[in-house]
Amino acid sequence: MRVAYFGFPHLGGTFQVFRHLRTGLQPFGITVQWVGLGEAAHEVLAEPCWSAEMAHGFVVGGRHGEPDQWARQLVMALEAASFDAVFVNVLADAVQTNLARYLPPQLRRVMIVHNITPGTYSAARAVRDHVHATVAISPRIRDDLVRRYGFPAERVVTIPHATEPSAEPGLAAREPGSRLRLLYLGRIDDQAKGVLLLPGILRRLPETATLTVAGGGPDLAKLKSRCRELGERVRFLGPVRYGETAQLLARHHVMVMPSRFEGFGLTLIEAMAAGCVPVASRIRGVTDWIVQDGHDGMLFPVGNCAEAARRIALLDRDRDLLCSLSEQGRATARDGYGRAAMASRYRALLTHLDADPPNIAPPLELARWEMPRGLRTGLRTRLPKPVKNLLRRLKESVA
């Protein structure tokens, strides 16, 4: 079986999912290739660091062109390569997401929903009737899609992301009396990731605690400015390449994730696998599904710097507790989030769809290409960021 994965190489969780699927499904005779589209893919893949990935996928469409032209070229490429199925990552690319409504009927379509935002759900709803199955990466996503967006329960399956065990034992085990080292790893984006909460958390901790910030994003300059008074207690690394994250995590005691919303939180299980204790926002059906508070990590209310700092300070004082959570976290990652388990679930889904595909809406005509309402910019995007952040905090508090 040959499966196309809509997306292209980049630093982010969506592409890490591809890597795990490619490697995990290969022993079952299932080949997975990434397929990028248009100008954005060409720009990213011009960077030398991605040259090795060109053997595992291809780009369709030139640097310039219209979405409907790219869509036609992509359909032709899929048919020419004799793909049997496609993985559609909601909103990874709006054109590829919409293309699920136009694909030839013989192609099995699996939609993967990666986030809990209204925009993500609206986009998923727009193509819902044109996919054979939907993968929710957390129970929160599955519940929301079924209860609020009319997805048939029998066609939505929860399959969490995967990580691989780290060979590093982690600082908690190696250096029980060292200065506490905190790490933030991910996109520097306050709207989703809550990165501007980090200075407030660190200020509430003993001056011996330090913070490493790894990643890039739109709020990097603002975060650096707000951290300036903390001096050498904060270090900025910039983006971290795939393959280097495990060692980075293993050099820190605590991984702080102050996100306001997440679909899963891949860095949580990566931190656990490396023995780095996660301290994360409590997001219902997402982070509280992965982290057992006080057992293999710590959780705090969304946006609450004081409570986040209190939890971290407890780990700083009680190094036995820190070591216990580190060891339990490694066990959680190993037993619940291995690549083999993830691949086995996807294999079962693909095998089922190949043998007994459900009836779905007939494909639309490419000659009448249009973006549905759920894939267009909505009024919510015009709300000021502080208002959005307040609404998310209240939503999680009520939940």
Average pLDDT over residues 293-317: 97
Task: Name the CATH topology of 171-336.
Answer: Rossmann fold (3.40.50)
- pLDDT attached to residue 385: 58
What residues contact residue 357 under an 8 Å CB cut-off, 6+ apart? 108, 132
* pLDDT tens figures, 165-202: 777 767 766 777 789 999 999 999 999 999 999 999 99
Helix 319-336 vs helix 266-273: angle between axes, to the nearest 10 degrees?
Answer: 110
Q: What is the mean pLDDT of residues 352-372?
A: 95
For residues 379 and 118, what is the distance between their CA atoms, to the nearest angstrom? Answer: 11
Place of tokens 């656990």: 272
Q: Is the pLDDT of residue 230 over 70?
A: yes
The mean predicted confidence, pLDDT, of the chain is 91
Distances (CA, A) of 154 to 87, 124, 135, 151: 18, 16, 11, 9
pLDDT at 378 over 70: no
Q: How large is the average pLDDT for residues 275-279? A: 96
Mean pLDDT over 143-159 rounds to: 97
**Among candidates 27, 319, 375, 309, which has minimal Cα distance to 171?**
319
Tell me the domain boundaries of the chain: 2-162+339-384, 171-336
pLDDT digits (tens, 9 = 90+) for 243-261: 889 999 999 999 999 999 9
The one-letter code for the residue type at 377 is T
**Measured distance CA(386)–CA(382) in Å, rounded:** 12
pLDDT tens per residue across span 18-72: 999 999 999 999 999 999 988 888 888 888 888 888 999 999 987 777 888 989 9
Rounded Cα–Cα distance for residues 202 and 234 (Å) = 9
Q: Do domains 2-162+339-384 and 171-336 have the same CATH topology?
A: yes
pLDDT at 85 over 50: yes
- Confidence grade of residue 115 (pLDDT, cut at 50, 70, 90): very high
CATH 3.40.640.10 applies to domain 2-162+339-384? no
Q: Are 186 and 219 in contact (CB under 8 A)?
A: no
Say if residues 195 and 182 touch (Cβ distance below 8 Å). no
- Spell out the SS3 assignment of the chain: CEEEEEECCCCCHHHHHHHHHHHHHHHHCCEEEEEEEHHHHHHHHCCHHHHHHHHHEEEECCCCCCHHHHHHHHHHHHHHCCCCEEEEECCCCHHHHHHCCCCCCCCEEEEEECCCCHHHHHHHHHHHHHCCEEEECCHHHHHHHHHHCCCCHHHEEECCCCCCCCCCCCHHHHCCCCCCEEEEECCCCHHHHCHHHHHHHHHCCCCCCEEEEECCCCCHHHHHHHHHHHHHHEEEEECCCCCCHHHHHHCCCEEEECCCCCCCCHHHHHHHHCCCEEEEECCCCCHHHHCCECCCEEEECCCCHHHHHHHHHHHHHCHHHHHHHHHHHHHHHHHHCCHHHHHHHHHHHHHHHHHCCCCCCCCCCHHHCCCCHHHCCCHHHHCCHHHHHHHHHHHHHHC
- Structure token digits, residue 308: 């986040």
| Mean pLDDT of the 347-358 span | 97
Among 65-74, 119-128, 342-351, the range scoring the smallest mean pLDDT is: 65-74
**In this structure, which amino acid lies at residue 296?**
D
- Helix 139-148 to helix 118-127 angle, to the nearest 10 degrees? 60
- Distance from the Cα of residue 302 to its chain's centroid: 18
* Beta-sheet strand order (sheet of 210-214): 234-238, 210-214, 181-185, 254-257, 277-281, 298-300
> What pLDDT does 386 receive?
61
% of the chain at pLDDT higher than 70:
93
Please give the residue that has the higher pLDDT: either 127 or 9: 127
Which one has a higher pLDDT value, 324 or 386?
324
Query: Where residue 379 falls among pLDDT bands split at 50, 70, 90?
Result: very low
Percent of the chain with pLDDT over 90: 79
